[in-house]
Structure 1
Amino acid sequence: MDENQFSIVDESGNEILCDIVLTFESEQFGPKAYVVFSPVGEVDEDGEPVYDAMIFEESDDVEGGKLLPIESEEEWEMVQEVFNTFQDEEDEE
């Protein structure tokens, strides 16, 4: 695993390797850090990568920190807007 990847464990106990696509911080919903990621090898019906996002919280109890779910629709919309802007900038390059 490199610094641009991390593993999560799903509800069935399976370890899933994920590529980090984007990290950013925002003050809009309190000072929070977010990570947008793509499970390695997971694609949608069109063959496009699947993306997800979570809140990243540093923790002394958990090595590397912990991921928390994004629970409000407004927060999801903000994350999606930041991700869409990132993708547009990547497409321009």
Structure 2
Amino acid sequence: MVENLRGEVSDLKRQVSQLQQNSNSDRPDRSSNTDGQSDLLDRQQLAERLGIEETAIAQHETDGKEFVEWSKSKDPEQISWKYAGANLFRRV
């Protein structure tokens, strides 16, 4: 029974690894401005840029105009960000 569970766990690990690889290859290309700044960031990248936890972004991301102002107040360069869907954020 234990060997069966080990085999199933091994299969699950392999499947998760394949899903992660597929997920990374399915991500859209991120375009860059001439100053090298990315126009599109995922939630983790934006959280790092704003110096806050990802959960704070998740709580505010669908607030529309309020999110744009809130993100600008947190951004080191006072850049506004807008939720673009699929956990991605675009410079405004």
Establish whether TM, by shorter chain, passes 0.5. no
Kindly indicate which of the two structures has a greater share of residues assigned to helix: 2
Which of the two has higher C-alpha Rg?
2
Interval containing the TM-score (normalised by the shorter chain): under 0.3
- For normalisation by structure 2, the TM-score amounts to 0.27
Kindly indicate which of the two structures has a greater share of residues assigned to strand: 1
- For normalisation by structure 1, the TM-score amounts to 0.26
Which structure has the higher relative contact order (CA within 8 Å, separation 6+)?
A: 2
